[in-house]
Structure 1
Amino acid sequence: MANIKSEFYNLSALIPTSLEYYDKNNEKYSSFFNNITNSKTIQNNSDMERNRILFYGKDNEIILESQYEFIGFYYKKYNLWCWGWASPILKKNETFIIRKLLNYALEIDLTLKENEQFKFIKTVLINSRSRITDELQLDIHIALASYLSKKKMVYKRKYQLTSDPTNYIEYYLFILDEPK
């Protein structure tokens, strides 16, 4: 994890830097993500090995096979964000990185005067669920996770739950093996 305290002396720099990092990497991988026509996950029964995801291109060829981990879920109908570490159905191998981020946030000592400004960051990272009232809030959650974990590739998978266009869940994943 990045050391927040040593890199940022005030909160006003952390969020813009995180968003810039997230936007830059989204732009870097946008052509790759735009070429994906389908994806398939391969579950690993062992809790010690990561699951894999296959990305398919227009001719149904595999364009990338990668390990992945969950960042979190966004349930549009209720505007609800849930961190991956808070999901009881995910295994250890699916949430290792995001649990490290939780532990990192839990270690931020707000009793120290120099850390007082990080109350917001700590609150964002340790609350298992958040009501999202603006798309920027969602971007901040994901950008902080990406920046602090130094994971560049974030993939959003959408699952439509019913015919209601607002009844879907977006799964946000760290893609751990970058395309060549």
Structure 2
Amino acid sequence: MNERSRDPDGTDRNARADGSGPDAAAPENTVVRRATRSDLLDVYRIEKSSFSQPWPYSAFETFLDEPGFLVAVRGAAVVGYVVSDVMPNHGRGIGHVKDIAVRPDARGAGLGRYLLERALVALAIDGATLVKLEVRIGNEPAISLYRDVGFEPARRVPGYYADGEDAFLMVLDLDAWQA
């Protein structure tokens, strides 16, 4: 990871002109931190309200020790989360954004972008140089967000989802993103 100045609380020091990037500031009154067991019920509720085929509660339990399982908190309420991890692949760390969601009443304020960017920083620290994710072909808002952050479609995956919908596999070069 390159040497850039960061405040521990996420204060913007080197964010891009549009406010995005590795050093972007958190949305107002929001703290992003690693998920804990006490967050899981709120995470699961957000998952169920966000997806037609939600992950089971137990899936989130398996990722509790991952540095890339982050929650966004306002006051005492979890308002969003991201689940990501790093796997070695031929000597190179490949990050995988597995799941991301924001509570419906908290959407539209840049929280999804901020969570994604914080996950990318965590993945870089954990050794990833490339990050991948899958997204439903029909999920235009998510595809737009991922493109804005710097992800590019690599290929279409036919029938990826249980209901038969195709996915885009999208990738991001972390070194280029951090530059």
Q: Same fold (TM over 0.5)?
A: no
TM-score norm. by structure 2 comes to: 0.28
Q: Which structure's residues are more often helix, by fraction?
A: 1
Looking at both structures, which has the greater relative contact order when contacts are Cα pairs under 8 Å and sequence separation is at least 6?
A: 1
Q: Which structure's residues are more often strand, by fraction?
A: 2
Larger Cα-atom Rg: 1
